[in-house]
Amino acid sequence: MATEYRGSVEQVHRAFCDERYWLARLTDSGADDYSLDTLARKPDGGVDVVTTQRLRSDRLPGLVQQFHRGDLRLVREESWSPVSDGRASATIRVTIPGAPATLTGTAELSAVSETSSRLSFHATVAVNIPLVGGKIENFIGNQLVELLIHEQRFTTAWIAENA
């Protein structure tokens, strides 16, 4: 998957290193509850971010409710490199405590022009439930596309307001 930001690599990366950005992004996420668990800037200019988001069980699709009782907690870990030669990269991991599902991936932020950048994201979703795991993986994949679009719009607007 890929999306473009109206903002340079440096501007997008600076947002990813900003606590105010993450708190605003979590507030805008639609989660019922959320926390910014870790925001650790590395000496080299990179950043590690861990967030937790909770979705109430009554908001979950029926297919998910069949295999996961109660609210759904998503723990998202992102580790971004510093910007180097107009690029930054990340490893991303999403886990759902108490559920046999994970998402792992890599992202690369690169310049399209002086005022825009592109985020390329490669992810693997694994749901270890016999017979229906593939259906849930497809559902998560579709939701991931929507999430990427939402986060791109949010980040572009945040950069315009906070540049």
Cβ proximity of 24 and 14 under 8 Å: no
pLDDT in tens, 102-146: 899 999 999 999 999 999 999 988 888 777 777 777 777 777 778
**What CATH number is attached to the domain comprising 144?**
3.30.530.20
The stretches of 52-132 forming alpha helices (DSSP H) are: 62-67
Termini Cα distance of the chain: 26
Whole-model pTM?
A: 0.88
Buried b (16+ CB within 10 A) or exposed e, 97-133: eebebebebebbbebeeeebbbbebebebebebeeeb
Integer Cα distance of 140 and 127 in angstroms: 10
What local confidence, expressed as pLDDT, does residue 129 receive? 75
> Which domain, by its residues, includes 95?
2-162
Q: Which two tokens stand for residue 31?
A: 């989660």
Residue 93's H or E segment, with its range, is strand 87-95
- Number of structural domains found in the chain: 1
pLDDT in tens, 2-49: 999 999 999 999 999 999 999 999 999 988 999 999 999 999 999 999
